[in-house]
Amino acid sequence: MALPLLRVDNLSIRFPTTEPVSNLSFLVNEKETLAIVGESGSGKSLTALALMRLLPRSAKPSGQIVFAGQDLLKLEERRMRQLRGKDIGMIFQEPMTSLNPVLTIGRQITEVLQLHERLPAKAARSRAIELLDLVRIPDPQRRIDDYPHQLSGGMRQRVMIAIAVACRPRLLIADEPTTALDVTIQAQVLDLLDKLRRDLSMAVLLITHDLGVVAQWADNVVVMYAGRKVEEALPEPLFAHPLHPYTRGLLAASPRLKNNYHYKDGPLTEIPGSIVSAAGEKGCSFRPRCTVAHDSCANAVPDLFVPAANRLVACPYHASFAEEANVALVN
């Protein structure tokens, strides 16, 4: 049985005028992939930055982020720097802005190895070439001296992966790792991440808005809306029986999934309106966009219900439309 490697309890992130993440809790088990899904503005990337202790100074996180028995929010910065990049790796959203444009990719990989592994320059370079080969960069002996602008978007993303896994981290945070890549390259990058997860025995926290990615690669799924968790489930029951109106909306707005997650043709339906901040909300933050909202939804933020084993949903009316959601998605 997989053991929890990361436990996030009631994480809130406050800024002077807003609270973009509120009372968020989840587990990431050893050697498994947890996907966090939601629209832009849901608080997914802020959550990732909180795990790495890379939030802006104006942000005030609270709650607990327990990694391998240590509460990261209470660690001294020196100890956090030791964990960051070694035990916890991160792939950022945009590789072109995350890589230093004036340093070769080899220099950027060897820097991590020399800092955390204390390797001498020659050994670090040899290891960097091995890492480039591991992430399937062709001709790594030559490419190691290239600059980021000399590489394609897919190759830059592979370099980011090489840097993130250089020290064989126990947890890899992948924040929208396929953003701006074409579909073919997306599949290659995700296949690579899953292979590395298995080969290096890592756990992966995958942040994405792509439900097709979730269906194929995740072991468990957390759906976020306006900084809160609104549903959590294993992928198969989530896609077959979505319980929260927001999850239903995401699925209806995505290419339909059927028969072991293969795509099928069909009209897509957008979610009306746009995401709003959870700050100051007295009721359900999804209520202004919800097609099945009740008057009582304006009274209080809904609690998380446990409708079945391994399932959570933040909607008191989930049972009344669960069957309807299944029929709508299958037909």
Distances (CA, A) of 62 to 193, 244, 259: 31, 26, 42
How remote is the C-alpha of 237 from its chain's centroid?
Answer: 20
**Calpha distance 321→249 (Å, rounded):** 13
Which of the four pLDDT bands, split at 50, 70 and 90, describes residue 266?
low
Tens digit of pLDDT for each residue in 196-215? 999 999 999 999 888 878 88
pLDDT, position 209: 83
Output DSSP code: residue 305.
B
Neighbours of 141 (CB within 10 A): 11
Contact 41, 13 (CB under 8 A): no
Banded model confidence at residue 228, pLDDT cuts 50, 70, 90: very high
CATH class of segment(s) 1-100+155-225:
alpha beta
Distance CA 78, CA 326 (A): 50
CA nearest neighbour of 153 among 134, 180, 128: 180
> pLDDT tens digits for 309-323?
889 999 998 876 555
Q: H or E stretch including 71?
A: strand 70-71
Query: Which residue did the predictor score with more confidence, 252 or 113?
Result: 113
Q: What are the residue ranges of CATH 3.40.50.300 in the chain?
A: 1-100+155-225
**Length reported for the chain:** 331
Determine the Cα–Cα distance for residues 253 and 270; give it in Å rounded to an integer.
5
Residue 330 has pLDDT above 60, yes or no: no
250-to-43, 172, 176, 242, 330 alpha-carbon distances in Å: 16, 25, 17, 10, 15
